[in-house]
Amino acid sequence: MSDNEKLEDKSKLKKSLLAGVLAGAVSLNVILPTAAASAEYFAERSNSDEPEALIVNELEEFNVDSVSNLVVFNEMMMPSSEVDGDDEEAAPPRRGGGGRASMAATQVTPEVPVTEYQRVTLAQLPIKNVEATSVNEEVARAVAEAIAAMVVVGGITITQAGDAISISIDNANIVKMLDIPDGVNISGMTTMAILNDDGTLTPIPTQIDVAGNIKVIVGFVGDVVLVPLNITANFTDIGFLVQHVQDEINRAAALNIVQGDGSGIFNPTATVTNQEAATMFLRTIGIPVDFATAMTTAREQGLLAAGTPAQAPMMRIEAAQLIVNALSATGMELRMTFSEAEALLEAFTDLDGLTDEEKIALAVTVQHGIFQGVGSGLMNPDETLQRSQVASLAVRLHSMLFEVQ
């Protein structure tokens, strides 16, 4: 390759990376070989007016010719919970017949193979306190109307759990600890919801710590009205499950991640489809979604690849990639080398058929306790998931959103 060709390739690559950020990728993740990358390659961005400067770790001279499998992906880590073990009836594996549809991002593949990777990501801002204020009577009436208009399905009860408040968001997807003003009563809340411009409510990632502090994650910048909700589930078909599985299903309902079938039935052992999984994980990270348009929203947010069939059952390895994609959608910072992934997965004996990208995604979820294996050194990556398992995965993902920041 000539010098001119190298410069042209490098220029194209830089434009591609920048385009990904400017197109709305909140977090830009790049995997580079540790011995063949360059701080200079990215340093000029830190002095520009472009989005947040890249964190560059232990990078040396970058040579386009020496890079193989340069992977650019928006890696979204959503803590979703999954039931691992023998608590429920296992769905049959579905490998073969064309194999899995890839959900990983685009790869740039120059010539020389490498075995070690270094991930470079955008910086993540720390937890930030934000002052809340009371809302006026007009907003309070709008909130009451929004709750009254919410579709209440059988087995789910939704009530307002206190006074609505207003906050101003200057950094999206960063954990905010709310300073609640005197006189505002919030009691029995399970989640906060945003009052949308169209009068609807969208629950957002919410956590109440042991000290009673309320933390939220809002995915956009601007003034926001938050409404405390109490959501309780009374599903009639989960009593046979072990207690921790019942607790995770009820927790997922309290966060508005799952809603059942509208008649008080949750169908915990039913196989989950791509559309159902996408809906649950989008709700987990606080992105407004209707079940009917969930596949479109998931593709727009980078959770699923174009062409993913809506009604196909979702496998465990596909859910791992979906979770990682969801975390990237929230701007989450993920770092893992391929050797680190191999070390995290060394206890599992059934992963030989996975690609490097799938192993890294799975390792991220294992590292944060989302996937845990099914026992006897097995992960069963090609096994299809049940609704109870995805509810558990979603709850674990929700917790992870607050823990890693």
- CA-CA-CA-CA torsion sign (33, 39, 44, 50): positive
pTM above 0.85, yes or no: no
Question: From CA 216, how far away is CA 221, in angstroms rounded?
Answer: 13
Q: What is the pLDDT of residue 121?
A: 31
Domains of the chain in start order, with CATH, are: 3-77+93-120 (no CATH), 128-233 (2.60.40), 269-403 (no CATH)
Cβ neighbourhood burial of 222 (10 Å; 0-12, 13-18, 19+): exposed
Contact 394, 280 (CB under 8 A): yes
pLDDT value at position 12? 46
In degrees, rounded to 5, the angle at the alpha carbon of residue 70 between the alpha carbons of residues 67 and 71 is 170
Distance CA 27, CA 202 (A): 23
Q: What is the pLDDT along the chain (405 residues), one digit of tens a residue?
A: 555 554 454 444 444 433 433 333 333 333 333 333 333 333 333 344 433 333 323 333 333 333 333 333 232 223 333 333 333 333 333 333 334 544 543 332 222 222 222 222 333 445 778 889 989 999 999 999 988 887 667 788 899 999 999 999 988 888 899 998 888 888 889 999 999 988 889 999 999 988 888 999 998 889 999 999 999 999 999 999 999 999 999 999 999 999 888 788 999 999 999 999 999 999 999 999 999 999 999 999 999 999 999 999 999 999 999 999 999 898 877 778 899 999 999 999 999 999 999 999 999 999 999 999 999 999 999 999 999 999 999 999 999 998 865
pLDDT at residue number 89: 32
